[in-house]
Amino acid sequence: MKFSCSRELLLKNLHLAQRATDAKNRTPVLRNVLFELSGNRLSMVGYDHRIGIKADIECVGEEDGKITVPCPLVIEVLSVMMEKTVYFSLDDTVLHMECGRSRYNFNCIPAEDFPPFPKSEGKDVFDMDKKMLEQGIKQTVFATNPDDARIFMGGVLMKTEKDGKIVRFVATDGRRFAMRVFVVEGQQLP
C-alpha cells in the first residue's frame, strides 16, 4: 500500500472513524481503524461489533492495500504536524508515514484480523426525519448498558409498525426500560 493525501482531510475523517473503536477492548484489532486503499480512494473503518463508521477520502494512490492502524497514535502525530500533504507506504505490517522532514513508523495489525463490516442489502432501508431519530435515541439510550456481555443490552431497538406509520424506539438493561413511540403523518415507511 502506498499513497499520499491531505493531512487535514485525513485527520478529520480519522476522528470520525475512531468514534466506532473501543479503546478498552481486550482485542487489539478493535482498537484500530482499518485503512483500505483502492485506486485513489482511501476508506477508514472503525468497527467494534456494536458501532461501525466508514469514512472515505480522495488521495493519490500508487499501490492498493489494506492494514489496521493504531488510530489514537496516528491522530496524535498528525495533530502536531504543519505540512499539508502526508505520504504513507506499507512494508509488511509496518506503516511508514512521512510529512515534511518527519518520519514515523507504526506497527500495525493485518487487515485479515479486522472483523467484516456489515453490509446493507437495501431491503430494510428507509428515510426518516433526522430530529425523530435523534430524539428517539436520546430519550431511550439512558436505559442501555453498553458494558453488558449481552450485546443487545447496549443498543436501542428501532421498529416500524402499521405500514411505517408508527416508529418505536425501545431500550433496556434488564432493570430499566425506556420506550418512545412516534406516529408518522403523511410519510410511508416500510
- List pLDDT tens digits, range 93-106: 999 999 888 899 99
- For residues 6 and 87, what is the distance between their CA atoms, to the nearest angstrom? 9
Residue of 138, 137, 127 lying closest to 164 (CA atoms): 127
More confident residue, 118 or 102: 102
Same domain, 15 and 104: yes
Q: Which three-class secondary structure state does DSSP give residue 26?
A: coil
- For residues 20 and 115, what is the distance between their CA atoms, to the nearest angstrom? 13
Continuous segment of H or E residues that includes residue 11:
helix 7-18
Question: What is the domain count for the chain?
Answer: 2
Question: Where does a domain end: 86, 113, 140?
Answer: 113
pLDDT, the chain, mean: 87
More confident residue, 190 or 123: 123
> Are 33 and 22 within 8 A, CB to CB?
no
Query: Beta 41-47 vs 102-107: how paired, if at all?
Result: unpaired
190 — pLDDT class (breaks 50, 70, 90): very low
Same domain, 87 and 137: no
Q: Is residue 189 part of a domain?
A: no
149 — pLDDT class (breaks 50, 70, 90): confident
pLDDT of residue 120: 65
Same domain, 109 and 134: no
Same domain, 83 and 42: yes
Prediction pTM value:
0.68
pLDDT of residue 49: 80
Range of the domain at 7: 2-113
- For residues 20 and 42, what is the distance between their CA atoms, to the nearest angstrom? 17
What CATH number did the domain enclosing 10 receive? Answer: 3.10.150.10
C-alpha dihedral (6, 72, 34, 122), degrees to nearest 10? -90
CA distances from 31 to 17, 28, 72, 150, 153 (A): 11, 5, 9, 20, 21
Q: Is the pLDDT reported for residue 72 higher than 60?
A: yes
Continuous segment of H or E residues that includes residue 96:
strand 94-99
Q: Is the pLDDT reported for residue 63 higher than 80?
A: yes
- For residues 189 and 76, what is the distance between their CA atoms, to the nearest angstrom? 43
Q: Is residue 118 part of a domain?
A: no
More confident residue, 169 or 163: 169
Same domain, 109 and 40: yes
- For residues 167 and 144, what is the distance between their CA atoms, to the nearest angstrom? 19
- For residues 20 and 26, what is the distance between their CA atoms, to the nearest angstrom? 15
Percent of the chain with pLDDT over 70: 93
- Alpha carbon of residue 103 to chain centroid: 27
